[in-house]
């Protein structure tokens, strides 16, 4: 019970930080633009949904490792990630290029 409550709390805090990034920061939504920002070195953090295809996820992790960028595996699927971003469509992955007022990069553990 306690572990589930803690997981829900961290999930909500990630959503709050993500909403603040959407409001005040710069980001790119989607697979192609995430890879572009990783290759150009602009990306600070990459967030990937849990139902992202394994090959795509491993490719993003590989590019992030080369760019020395943190990757966060979002606990929800792409529909929930899109909702957390304030969009009405699915978002499989996103790249944060400028966090704005949010402390999302400091709070995420680099994996």
pLDDT in tens, 3-23: 666 666 677 789 999 999 999
CA distance 92 to 41: 20
For 45-95, the pLDDT digits (tens) are 999 999 999 999 999 999 999 999 999 999 999 999 999 999 999 999 999
CA distance 86 to 93: 14
Structure tokens at 76: 């929800």
Residue 109: pLDDT band with limits 50, 70, 90: low
pTM beyond 0.75, yes or no: yes
Q: What is the pLDDT of residue 29?
A: 97
What is the DSSP-derived secondary structure letter of residue 86? T
Q: Who contacts 23 (Cβ-Cβ below 8 Å, separation ≥6)?
A: 100, 101
């Amino acid at each position: 019970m306690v572990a589930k409550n803690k997981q829900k709390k961290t999930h909500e805090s990630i959503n709050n930080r993500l909403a603040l990034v959407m409001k005040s920061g710069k980001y790119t939504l989607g697979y192609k633009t995430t890879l572009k920002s990783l290759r150009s070195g602009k990306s600070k953090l990459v967030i990937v949904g849990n139902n992202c295809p394994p090959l795509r996820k491993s490719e993003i992790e590989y590019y992030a490792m080369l760019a020395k960028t943190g990757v966060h595996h979002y606990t929800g699927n792409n529909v929930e990630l899109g909702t957390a971003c304030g969009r009405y469509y699915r978002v499989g992955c996103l790249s944060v290029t400028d966090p704005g007022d949010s402390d999302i990069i400091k709070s995420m553990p680099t994996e």
